[in-house]
């Protein structure tokens, strides 16, 4: 809050005074009402309207360093249309909401560069165009001083429409940047998942939440609560004829802060959609991802495109170098929402993926088809959606004919598998168990022969022949399985 020491002696309560041709009325409590001039010992000066001793209405405030603000005030806050100029030649023309740049505005820099776009709490947030003195332009959706989404496509980008197994299931996509069709405020949720509409204070006494005259003690709008009645007054002053009732009835200064980044930007764009019609640049073209009406690409656009392309090609050091310039956002996407992380994932560049993760990329960011990097992995693993829905993948073991085919192509006599000590011990144990099994079977066969020796001699001879054949078959089968196991271990085929 600015100091309130006035130049000159105070007039009696209720009296009128003339100051630089402006009429000032002192209220009974000594506060100023109406138009007047206020000066401070450090050289700062305000000329304009007052309410209860606070700057209110139209006015001009000049700071001690020469910077000045001329526009609308609300109880010592810059609020509404205004022009803010600095001695360096930097100036901002646009709107303010409780001292913060908000809505559509224009910045002009000392070197002749300009930026026109949407602001949110003092930073670029949404559609905008940066124009340079040489005619180049950076166009897209902004987050701070970096582009978050381009209006152009990048080569080698991923799309479900290119996947024959998925293209038939696609619905017409909706551009994520276009928030014209619906209001996002009705579906806001707090961090604990409860609807903000249910966050209504049961007391209903706004003077208890924000005591009258609080502006005399603090004008920190970022931390003070904002009751629904106060918000309504501020919104009406800010939006003017474009004001719409706000469904939010809570006390938070910024109800959008609990939303994810993409949803918060969409809601902010929608909130200022009516005021976008009054600006002198093509907002609709940016929201529809149409760059044809703008000039050559500027440095931020060029580097952002290269960032995605290098990630797609696995060029690790080029990706790292561009990120270190700090002019490219790690989550920047092309017009289809294709990010560097998705590009590296599609082409299986593990080193670039780890680099991007170290940069802090959003792993849950979705492209225009609603696909995250992890979802893209799923699609590449199962290229047909029909197979996922109707035929779950089954791991198949090699058939006996496949094993025989492999055996026929190999020289089994030359197989000399190399075993370590542990494997050799296990193999010896298996051989011992097999030999014990053979001994038991031999004993069983002998017992059978002994039990039937008193029967007919022909039956005895036949049984002996059958027993001998059984033992011979068992030994042959054992030898075949052992050879097959050695071949499969040697060739790397999975064992059933």
Residues 23-77: tens digit of each pLDDT = 555 554 556 788 999 999 999 999 999 998 899 999 999 999 999 999 999 999 9
Q: Which residues of 379-400 are buried (b: 16+ CB within 10 A; e: fewer)?
A: beebeebeebeeeeeeeeeeee
pLDDT at 378: 80
**Cα 317–Cα 319–Cα 320 angle in degrees, nearest 5:** 65
**Low-confidence residues in the chain, pLDDT < 50:** 1-22, 28, 173-203, 385-386, 388-389, 415, 460, 462-463, 467, 470-471, 474, 476-478, 480-481, 484-485, 487-496
pLDDT at 20: 41
What is the spatial distance between Cα 45 and Cα 68, in angstroms, rounded to a whole number?
9
Question: Whole domain around residue 427: which residue ranges?
Answer: 400-491
What is the three-class DSSP state of 309? helix
| Residue 200 forms part of a structural domain | no
pLDDT at 275: 92
For residue 308, give Cα distances in angstroms to 296, 320, 362.
Answer: 19, 12, 15
Which residue, 173, 157, 156, 166, is CA-closest to 378? 166
What is the spatial distance between Cα 55 and Cα 61, in angstroms, rounded to a whole number?
9
| Residue 416 forms part of a structural domain | yes
pLDDT at 176: 40
What is the spatial distance between Cα 30 and Cα 38, in angstroms, rounded to a whole number?
14
- Average pLDDT of the chain? 76
| Residue 265 forms part of a structural domain | no
**Cα 166–Cα 176–Cα 104 angle in degrees, nearest 5:** 170
Which residue, 245, 148, 265, 140, is CA-closest to 197? 245
pLDDT at 254: 85
What are phi and psi for residue 103, nearest 5 degrees? 80, -165
pLDDT at 33: 82
| Residue 373 forms part of a structural domain | no
Which residue, 177, 179, 139, is CA-closest to 292? 139
Residues 327-365: tens digit of each pLDDT = 999 999 999 999 999 999 988 899 999 999 999 999 999
| Residue 424 forms part of a structural domain | yes
Q: What is the four-CA torsion angle of 264, 116, 361, 268, rounded to 10 degrees?
A: 0
The DSSP code sequence of 406-449 is: HHHHS-GGG------HHHHHHHHHHHHHHHHHHHHHHHHHHHHH
| Residue 459 forms part of a structural domain | yes
| Residue 439 forms part of a structural domain | yes
* 340 within 8 A of 319, measured Cβ to Cβ: yes
Q: For residue 278, with 0-12 CB atoms within 10 Å meaning exposed, 13-18 middle and 19 or more buried, which class applies?
A: exposed
Whether the model pTM is above 0.85:
no
Phi-psi domain of 343 (left: phi exceeds 0; alpha: psi -120 through 50; beta: other): alpha
User: Structural domain tally of the chain?
Assistant: 1
| Cβ count within 10 A of residue 374 | 12
| Residue 445 forms part of a structural domain | yes
């Amino acid at each position: 809050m600015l100091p309130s020491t006035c130049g000159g002696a105070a007039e009696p309560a209720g009296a009128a005074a003339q100051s630089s041709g402006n009429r000032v009325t002192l209220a009974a409590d000594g506060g100023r009402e109406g138009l007047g001039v206020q000066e401070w010992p450090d050289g700062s000066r305000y000329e304009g309207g007052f309410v209860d001793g606070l700057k209110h209405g139209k006015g001009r405030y000049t700071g001690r360093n020469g910077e000045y603000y001329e526009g609308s005030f609300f109880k010592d806050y810059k609020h509404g249309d205004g022009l803010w100029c600095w001695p360096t030649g930097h100036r901002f023309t646009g709107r303010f909401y409780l001292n913060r740049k908000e809505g559509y505005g224009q910045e002009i820099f000392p070197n002749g560069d300009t930026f026109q776009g949407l602001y949110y709490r003092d930073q670029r947030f949404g559609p905008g165009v940066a124009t340079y003195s040489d005619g180049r332009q950076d166009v897209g959706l902004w987050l701070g001083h970096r582009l978050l989404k381009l209006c152009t496509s990048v080569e080698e980008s991923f799309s479900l429409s290119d996947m024959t197994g998925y293209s038939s299931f696609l619905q017409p996509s909706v551009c994520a940047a276009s928030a014209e069709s619906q209001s996002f405020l009705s579906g806001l949720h707090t961090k604990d998942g409860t609807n903000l509409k249910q966050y209504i204070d049961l007391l209903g006494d706004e003077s208890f939440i924000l005591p009258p005259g609080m502006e005399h003690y603090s004008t920190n709008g970022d931390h003070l609560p904002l009751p629904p009645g106060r918000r309504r007054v501020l919104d009406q002053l800010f939006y003017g004829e474009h004001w719409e009732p706000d469904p939010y009835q809570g006390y938070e200064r910024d109800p959008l802060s609990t939303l994810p980044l993409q949803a918060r930007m969409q809601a902010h764009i929608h909130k200022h959609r009516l005021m976008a019609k009054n600006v002198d640049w093509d907002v609709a073209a940016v929201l529809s991802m149409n760059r044809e009406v703008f000039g050559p690409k500027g440095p931020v656009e060029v580097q952002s495109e290269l960032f995605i392309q290098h990630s797609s090609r696995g060029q690790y050091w080029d990706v790292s170098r561009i990120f270190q310039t700090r002019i490219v956002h790690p989550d920047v996407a092309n017009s289809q929402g294709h990010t560097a992380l998705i590009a590296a994932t599609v082409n299986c560049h593990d080193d670039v993926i780890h680099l991007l993760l170290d940069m802090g990329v959003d792993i849950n960011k979705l492209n225009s088809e609603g696909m995250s990097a992890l979802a893209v992995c799923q699609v590449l693993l199962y290229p047909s959606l029909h197979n996922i829905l109707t035929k779950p993948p089954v791991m198949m073991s090699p058939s006996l004919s496949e094993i025989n085919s492999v055996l026929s192509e190999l020289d089994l006599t030359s197989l000399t598998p190399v075993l370590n000590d542990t494997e050799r011990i296990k193999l010896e144990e298996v051989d011992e168990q097999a030999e014990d099994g053979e001994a038991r079977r031999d004993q069983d066969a002998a017992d059978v022969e002994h039990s039937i020796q008193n029967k007919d001699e022909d039956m005895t001879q036949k049984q002996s022949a059958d027993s001998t054949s059984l033992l011979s078959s068992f030994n042959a089968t054992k030898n075949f399985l052992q050879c097959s196991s050695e071949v499969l271990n040697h060739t790397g085929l999975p064992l059933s």
